[in-house]
Amino acid sequence: MEYFELLLASLEYQFWLELVLAFLCFFFIIWYVKHKNDVVIWWPVVGAIPSLLRNAHRVHDWTVEVSNTIGTTIVERGTIFARLNLLYTCDPNIVEYMVKTNFANYPKGPEYIDMFEVLGHGIFTVDFEPWHAQRRLANVTFASKDFRSYIGKVSKEVVQDSLLPFLEHVAKQSTTTVDLEDVFLRFAFDSIFTVVFGKNPNYLAIDLPNNVLAKAIDDATEAVFYRHILPRPWWKLCNWLMVGKERKLAEAIRVINEHLGKYVSAKRKDLIEGVGGGEGGGNNIDLLEIYMTSHELQKNDLLPKDDEFLKDTGLNFIFAGRDSTGTSLAWFFWLIATNPSVESKILEELKLLFSKNMKENHHSTNTSTRERRPWVFNSEDLKGLVYLHAALCESLRLYPPLPLNRKGVHKEDVLPDGTVVKPGMKVLISMYAMGRMEWLWGKDCLEYKPERWIGEDGKLSHEPKSKFYTFNAGPRNCVGKEMAFTQLKLVAANVIFNFHVEMVEGHIVCPKPSAVLHMKNGLMVRVKEREIIL
């Protein structure tokens, strides 16, 4: 009898369990059908995480849709599984308040260092006094006339000795296609590595060699992106189990530390033995040598003196200079390839500059440039080119190299729109969405239109800069902004003047889900030598 009572009780329990599960399934199906066309589906238990994961492959364009349909500033309280307290924004007024007006209250935060562990305790991850100390040292370095001259010299040499010869080689093989994004990333890697360490790794050689350090940096960048979109407990668990992207990240960190550690040790040995001055001697002093011999570094107790700090510093600048410059160039050349009228206007500006240079040097301009190819412009030549600068700014507006920025909250505060933020909250800023808001840029916000950066007087307009945060702003603005524009202009001018770039028919270009705005399928093009008759 007892057996049958237990059996009945068990069946009754099973019945109610199945009934509850059926009800929950029915409830979630109704919920999904009702909201399936929503940009974000706010699930009762797991919040917006399913929507985020569903759109992870197109997360940057998804932020635009979210901003247009829900709002430019959103607070998400998270789920019962992950204590996520997130504020998302693409409103430049709020961004300006955070990065300038009340800068001290919005640090990177301890979780930022955790997420970007690959960067160690370099200038881009630390906060408060350690950051102020590193920033002062970086400001002194980048303000140095000799160092700025070295940057221009290195950039021109890599353009002249590596980039243009490579494109010339490709152009001579008319059927050859090349991934131009990969080419520009190689150029940027050689340039920034030489600026930082004083040695050119020759990653942009004719045979496109492999480079384990560059590959490790790519793997680390991809893994860091997934740490941005996954709840912290999830990626922490993957890290503990050493699976997926976390396993790849751990290997990337090992490779990076091993290689950069050797370069730092070799540089210190050179200085002890009296070998310095970078490649070629003279004023060719790289960033690492400047840091090692800096009086500011020696006297400031907040700045570490060990090789670990120098390795982290070198890596921080490589991360900032390589991917941002390489991807920015790729998006720029895609835009001008699909907007030939813009390319024509840049070319006219360059032809005028070329004619001016030829007259000043007492050369005839009555012949084709084919007789003097490739012509190489200096960085100083390009500073006054208004349309080229505007075209680059417009490209950076639509395709910012760092599409997402992350901050923390130090103390409770009220934002300009009345939103209350509290300590522990994560702030996610979408630069990508900010550049695509109609209320901010007008109905033509999705168009590539360099003219929006030029005033009626023909000079660069200051108005767009108030809503342009690609290089950040305030105390933490990009210390390498001028270096970036020097390299972008050198490459853009010299490639456009000497070559014509054509997209491979049918090639699809779209953003890759990454912490840096890479192209998902690269930029497959054909390159032709350009003949200009003046």
The residue-averaged pLDDT of 63-81 equals 78
Strands (E), 8-81: 73-76
Which DSSP category does 98 fall into? Answer: I
The residue-averaged pLDDT of 89-94 equals 94
Would the pLDDT of 277 be above 90?
no
Q: What pLDDT score does 39 carry?
A: 54
Least confident of 22-36, 338-352, 428-442: 22-36
Three state DSSP letters for 383-410: CCCHHHHHHHHHHHHHCCCCCEEEEECC
State the CB neighbour count (10 A cutoff) for residue 204: 25
Q: What pLDDT score does 181 carry?
A: 97
Q: Which tokens hold the place of 299?
A: 């006297």
The residue-averaged pLDDT of 339-346 equals 97
The residue-averaged pLDDT of 350-375 equals 71
- For residues 372 and 416, the model is more confident at 416
CA 452, CA 440: separation in Å to the nearest integer?
12
Residue 271 pLDDT class (50, 70, 90 cuts): confident
Q: What pLDDT score does 490 carry?
A: 97
- Percent of the chain residues past pLDDT 90, beyond the cut: 60
CA 357, CA 378: separation in Å to the nearest integer?
11
What value does the mean pLDDT of the chain take?
A: 85
Stated pTM of the model = 0.87
- Identify the bridge partners of residue 87 per DSSP, sorted by sequence position: 75, 427
Residue 78 pLDDT class (50, 70, 90 cuts): low
State the CB neighbour count (10 A cutoff) for residue 228: 17
What's the farthest any 2 CA atoms get from each other in the chain? 115
Q: Is 464 helix (H, G, I), strand (E, B) or coil?
A: helix
Q: What pLDDT score does 184 carry?
A: 98
- Percent of the chain residues past pLDDT 70, beyond the cut: 83
Q: Which tokens hold the place of 432?
A: 């990508």
Cα–Cα–Cα angle for 376, 381, 385, rounded to 5 degrees: 115
State the CB neighbour count (10 A cutoff) for residue 7: 10
Least confident of 42-46, 129-133, 363-367, 388-392: 42-46
Instruction: List pLDDT tens digits, range 467-493.
Output: 899 999 899 999 999 999 999 999 999
Instruction: List pLDDT tens digits, range 201-221.
Output: 999 999 999 999 999 999 998
Q: What pLDDT score does 372 carry?
A: 57
Would the pLDDT of 307 be above 50?
yes
Question: What are the distances in angstroms from CA 147 to CA 140, 152, 437, 480?
Answer: 10, 9, 38, 12
